[in-house]
Amino acid sequence: MKHLLTAVLMTMVTTVLFGLIYPLAITGVAQLAFPDQANGQLIKSNGVIIGSRIIGQPFTGPGYFHSRPSAAGPAGYDAGASSGSNLGPTNKTLVDRVIADVQKLQAENPGRPVPIDLVTTSASGLDPHISPAAAEFQLPRIARERGISEEQVRQLIARHTSGRTFWLLGEPRVNVLELNLDLDVRNPTTRK
């Protein structure tokens, strides 16, 4: 009986300690030390949430930089269904989609190699970044649609290009949402 009582008390103590006190303490520390990160790095415009710096979203208009494809959910970019497609490199569905995407992008910029991240999905399907090469690839279309010089667009890309984390991890990247928002502020368009 003594062991049963000890086991029940230990279960109650650890449940309160690790199920309530610890999560509340960590949440409080995160809110104090890193409020932006703890709340999803949300981007607001006029008090309205329009996106997150860490979750990709689709842009299809010709005057916008396009994100990489998403396999998260049936329509893509579904945060509740975050995952890759799990299709192997010889899967006909994947091969057909990539070929169609490459053909579409080559029609946009004939004779230029298509950056791989514009035709492949990320592991999560929600990557908010593209490579600087993918942004540069889209540059002529953006300049033409917005009626601005390629150099102006190139400067915007450079402004939104982040380097490697701690100068050695990962690759340089461009946040598509932030770049498109800055593009809208500096050179508005009516098409999305």
**Where residue 189 falls among pLDDT bands split at 50, 70, 90?**
low
Under a CB-based contact definition with an 8 Å cutoff, are residues 109 and 115 in contact? Answer: no
Lowest mean pLDDT among 59-63, 73-77, 133-137, 172-176: 73-77
Q: Are strands 48-52 and 161-162 parallel, antiparallel or unpaired?
A: unpaired
pLDDT digits (tens, 9 = 90+) for 77-124: 887 788 777 888 899 999 999 999 999 999 988 889 999 999 998 888
The CA distance from 68 to 174, in Å, is: 11
Radius of gyration of the chain (CA): 22
**Percent over 90 (pLDDT), the chain:** 61
Q: Which residues contact 65 (CB under 8 A, 6 or more apart)?
A: 59, 130, 135, 138, 142, 174, 176, 179, 180, 183
DSSP notation for 22-49:
HHHHHHHHHHHH-HHHHTT-EEEETTEE
Going by C-alpha positions, the residue among 130, 7, 125, 21 that lies closest to residue 73 is 125
The CA distance from 142 to 186, in Å, is: 13
Going by C-alpha positions, the residue among 188, 166, 171 that lies closest to residue 130 is 171
Q: Which residue has the higher pLDDT, 108 or 158?
A: 158
The CA-atom distances, in angstroms, between 119 and each of 46, 70, 97, 153, 158 are: 34, 10, 8, 22, 22
Give just the sign of the alpha carbon dihedral 179, 45, 57, 55.
positive
pTM of the model: 0.81
Under a CB-based contact definition with an 8 Å cutoff, are residues 153 and 189 in contact? Answer: no
